[in-house]
Structure 1
Amino acid sequence: MTSTRQFQIGDHVSWNSEAGRVSGHIRAVHTGDFGWKGYTHHASQSDPQYEITSDRTDHVAVHKAGALRLLPEN
């Protein structure tokens, strides 16, 4: 299933994590398969994965568009 929403580098987004709702900024967009923490993640031009840095910590997460919500910039 492909996502219809496309995000861009710098977008402020939120997602659900084990610790609750987290927010951060997109720092990279992957449009091809890539290695991440020992695993191959599958992405394509029509179904990219987004690399996001958390607002609260230095943690970096990778998610598909369906897991993300765009937040307004303050």
Structure 2
Amino acid sequence: MAKHAKISEGDRVSWRSHGSTAIGTVKRKLTGRGRAAGRTVDASSQEPQYEVRSEKSGGTAVHKPEALSKKPKRRGKSG
């Protein structure tokens, strides 16, 4: 299995969603069983999952780290 970049809260990430690529921000790392993004998540410290918020829709989702790719931070608008 390929090694993925370390993901942390606040990171900007992308993931595949409904045939396209979504971009958003990691809200929190999940390391236990609980509720997130409207569903029950069965994560652990050995197999964490991440709650992310989409930049486009504002919706939240939960993904395993192998589904996420780090993206550069957005730059502020100049002017």
The alignment's C-alpha RMSD in Å is 2.0
Residues 23-71 of structure 1 deviation map (CA, whole Å, 9 limit, x = unaligned): 000011110111242x432111121110001011211010010100000
- Please, which runs of 5 or more residues in structure 1 have no aligned partner? none
Q: TM-score, normalised by structure 2?
A: 0.78
CA contact (8 A) 2:5 2:70 kept: no
Q: What is the percent sequence identity of the aligned residues?
A: 35
**Which aligned segments of 4 or more residues in structure 1 are displaced greater than 4 angstroms?**
none
Q: Residue 31 of structure 1 corresponds to which residue in structure 2?
A: 31
Number of aligned residue pairs = 72
